[in-house]
Amino acid sequence: MTIQQVLYVLEISSRNSVSQAAQRLYLSQSALSQQLRRLEEELGYSLFSRTASGLQLTPEGRNFCEQAAPVAERWTEFCKAVQKYPKPEHLRLRLGLGSRVYSNDLFPKIAAYFESKPEIEVAFLTEAGQDVVDALRRGELDLALDRLPAEEPPQDSGDFFSCPLIRERQCVLLSHKDPRSRHSSLSFRDLQGCTMISGLEDSAEDRSMKSTLRKYHISVNRIYRSDGIETNMRLVRDGMGIALGPASFSEHYNVAAVPLEPETWISLQFICLNSALKNAEIRHFRDYLLDFCQSEPAPPEQTEKPT
What are 76-94's pLDDT values in tens digits?
A: 888 888 876 655 556 889 9
Question: CA–CA separation, 300 vs 15, rounded Å?
Answer: 48
In this structure, the answer to whether residues 52 and 187 fall within a common structural domain is no
So what's the pLDDT on residue 84? 65
Domain boundary among 30, 48, 82: 82
In this structure, the answer to whether residues 40 and 100 fall within a common structural domain is no
- The answer to whether 62 touches 89, Cβ cutoff 8 Å, is no
Question: CA–CA separation, 142 vs 272, rounded Å?
Answer: 7
Which of the four pLDDT bands, split at 50, 70 and 90, describes residue 305?
very low
Report the CATH number that the domain containing residue 241 is assigned in CATH: 3.40.190.290
Phi, psi of 121, rounded to the nearest 5 degrees: -95, 120
In this structure, the answer to whether residues 102 and 183 fall within a common structural domain is no
So what's the pLDDT on residue 304? 40
CB atoms within 10 A of CB 179: 8
Give the percent of the chain with pLDDT over 70. Answer: 89
In this structure, the answer to whether residues 18 and 104 fall within a common structural domain is no
The answer for residues whose C-beta is within 8 angstroms of residue 211's C-beta and 6 or more apart is 150, 151, 307
So what's the pLDDT on residue 131? 74
CB atoms within 10 A of CB 151: 13
In this structure, the answer to whether residues 135 and 209 fall within a common structural domain is no
Q: Averaged over 123-132, what is the pLDDT? A: 76
Residue 246 in 3-state DSSP? strand
The per-residue pLDDT for range 259-283, each reduced to its tens digit, is 999 898 889 999 999 889 888 899 9
Report the CATH number that the domain containing residue 290 is assigned in CATH: 3.40.190.10
Q: Given a cut of 90, is residue 144 above it in pLDDT?
A: yes
Which of the four pLDDT bands, split at 50, 70 and 90, describes residue 154?
very low
So what's the pLDDT on residue 150? 59
Is residue 301 a part of any domain in this protein? no
Listed in order, strand segments (DSSP E) in the chain are: 48-51, 54-57, 91-97, 120-125, 143-146, 160-174, 186-187, 195-198, 222-225, 243-246, 256-261, 265-273
Judging by DSSP bridges, how do beta strands 265-273 and 160-174 pair with one another? antiparallel
Phi, psi of 57, rounded to the nearest 5 degrees: -70, 140
So what's the pLDDT on residue 95? 94
Q: Given a cut of 90, is residue 227 above it in pLDDT?
A: no
So what's the pLDDT on residue 107? 94
So what's the pLDDT on residue 28? 75
Is residue 189 a part of any domain in this protein? yes
Report the CATH number that the domain containing residue 57 is assigned in CATH: 1.10.10.10
The per-residue pLDDT for range 159-214, each reduced to its tens digit, is 888 899 999 999 999 999 999 999 999 998 999 999 999 988 877 788 888 888 88
Is residue 117 a part of any domain in this protein? yes
Q: Averaged over 129-152, what is the pLDDT? A: 79
pTM above 0.75, yes or no: no
Burial 208-223 (b: 16+ CB within 10 A, else e): bbbebbeeeebebeeb
In this structure, the answer to whether residues 57 and 36 fall within a common structural domain is yes
In this structure, the answer to whether residues 134 and 275 fall within a common structural domain is yes
In this structure, the answer to whether residues 66 and 138 fall within a common structural domain is no
Domain span at residue 49 reads 3-82
Residue 62 in 3-state DSSP? helix
